[in-house]
Structure 1
Amino acid sequence: MLSRVADNLYWFSRYVRRAENTARLVGVGSQLQLDMPRSVRFAWRPMIDTVGAGECFEQCHPETAEAAGDADVIRFLLLDERNPSSLRTSVDSAREILRSIRDTLPQDVWEAINDLHLYIDAQGERSLSRRYRLEFLQRIVDGCLKVSGLLSANVSRDIGYQFLRLGTALEQADMTTRIMDAGASGLVRPRNEDDREAFQNMQWMSVLRSLAGYQMFRRHVRQRVTAELALRFLLQNNEFPRSVHFCLSRMQSVLPTMPPRPGVDRHLNRVIGLTRNADPAVLATRNPAQFMDQIQVHLGALHDAIAEGYFHG
């Protein structure tokens, strides 16, 4: 397979999964707003830093960067074409990639991506309203899952499919840490310190729901949601498909089907060790955001190794 085509397949799957998880990320905040009492202060701004777009946001909103309102932040995350990780940019990027490799993937995949593109153009502005936002986000998630289902059901298990799997697993691991980061960050600020633990547990419940993991958490853990248990489930569970460890293990199973690249194996084993050795009990007592940032740095290095080994070598 041409390295250009392999690169496109890898990035196509990443952009689709990024779009889905950006919708889920905004869903964390939207669901929390609905669940929290009016007396609790809710801030959307930390979510910009969670996706690593703080500098871009400040350039786009130089006057109001720190005091940005909900609408500015949500528009930036969902619709702003200047934001390289916005929902619209991710879907448009996936569509442009697919346009150049349409003969590589089934026609149904093109139609599904095009439907998402047209839906965002037609209904995107409505998503800024709290009344319609969850409906919009759910439609995006459903559309992305349809694409994933079509890829899983209709694509031959050749080397191109392995690059799709590789991109999907890496992007999901990264976005799971970002959604966890959002849930652990300062989105909710209780006025009374005695309420902090209760609100923190509500935040983690929203994180689990946004990752479609709440029912699986209850099935595996069988205890009420706490920061420690949610961290352990989303970081280290071997059976939940969106957990960081599951995604990394999937990458580990893909690599033997591809040409060997020792640098990729080395970086993957490093981040697997970091995740496996983490102590959720310790993380829960501190701010887990620093640890999530650490994983994201290692995942970035893993991506660089994949690009160097398979696409630019």
Structure 2
Amino acid sequence: MPSLSFSAINPKLALVISRALAALRPSLIAFLVANAMLLSGGTQTPISFCNVLFVGNLCAALAVGTWFGWRSLIQDWRSLDRRIQVGLFLNGGLAALLSSLIFVGLAYTSVTNAVLLGRLGPVIYALVGTLILGRKIKRFEWIGFSLIIAGVLAIVLKTSNFEINQGDLFILLSALVYAASSTLGKLMLSQQTNLRIVVFSRNLISAIIFFVIANLVFGPEHFMDVLAGQLWIVMVVYALIIIVLAQFLWYSALEQLNSQTVGKWTALSPVFGVTYAFVLNGERPSLAQVLAFLVIMAGICITSFNRQSSRPMETNEMADGAESCMSTS
């Protein structure tokens, strides 16, 4: 059976690379949409819900299945407890919903807004954790969360003339879905669940859901442009690097680092996201976005740098929030 291990890589380096790759997704999607006709050889609307979400996740699932072996993955699935299987199905469904909300939201709001608004997801997860998971939030974390919420509200109200923009609303809804997905993962999935089956099932189930939705909403003709020009090659590279590699590096780092270390290094995620938006999409942050960014970063630093160390496997609780809404799919 082929093995895939990142243990030889410095876990801090693996963590930073995974966050840099995950933060690239919204900017890259916006870039592909803007340059779609060039990549497809002149097709009018080649980058669609189907191309990015269905093809991207399908390629990711095929890559994992080919590398580890389909028989091995089927055996892994059959050996799982029924409760965990149900949890993986629900996890894949929430991942599909999460990606859909972000994809649609990016059509109506800027990448910079999406990156900054996505910071609300970990805050909601933390608050849910106090009610369901019994996790205590410390005073410094309350201060940090308050700053993050203040920064998010400033973006929502100031950049849309004190009205909630449709795109911002979708991104905020994706933050709620992210919190639900993270909570479900903590409640339903066993720590002994094989990493490869988690990554494989998440992407395969998402791809199936995207396929069904695209057929019901847009019709079979929505798939006509999937193989246009260089799009298939682009989606394969996108799936292997942005989805598969980022996920494996992320989980590998979580297994080796405590939550305090993860929290500190994942604080760079918004910095990556805003930088990509500037370089790839030419988005120059407004004064309101800059001020909100500084407030949000202050909140992230306070919650991250004042967190006590805990067991390595507990990093999924709050550190998983650094993945935010942008890396799940």
Shared fold (TM-score greater than 0.5)?
Answer: no
TM-score, with normalisation over the residues of structure 2? Answer: 0.28
TM-score in terms of structure 1 length: 0.29
Q: Compare relative contact order (CA 8 Å, sep 6+) and give the higher one, 1 or 2.
A: 2
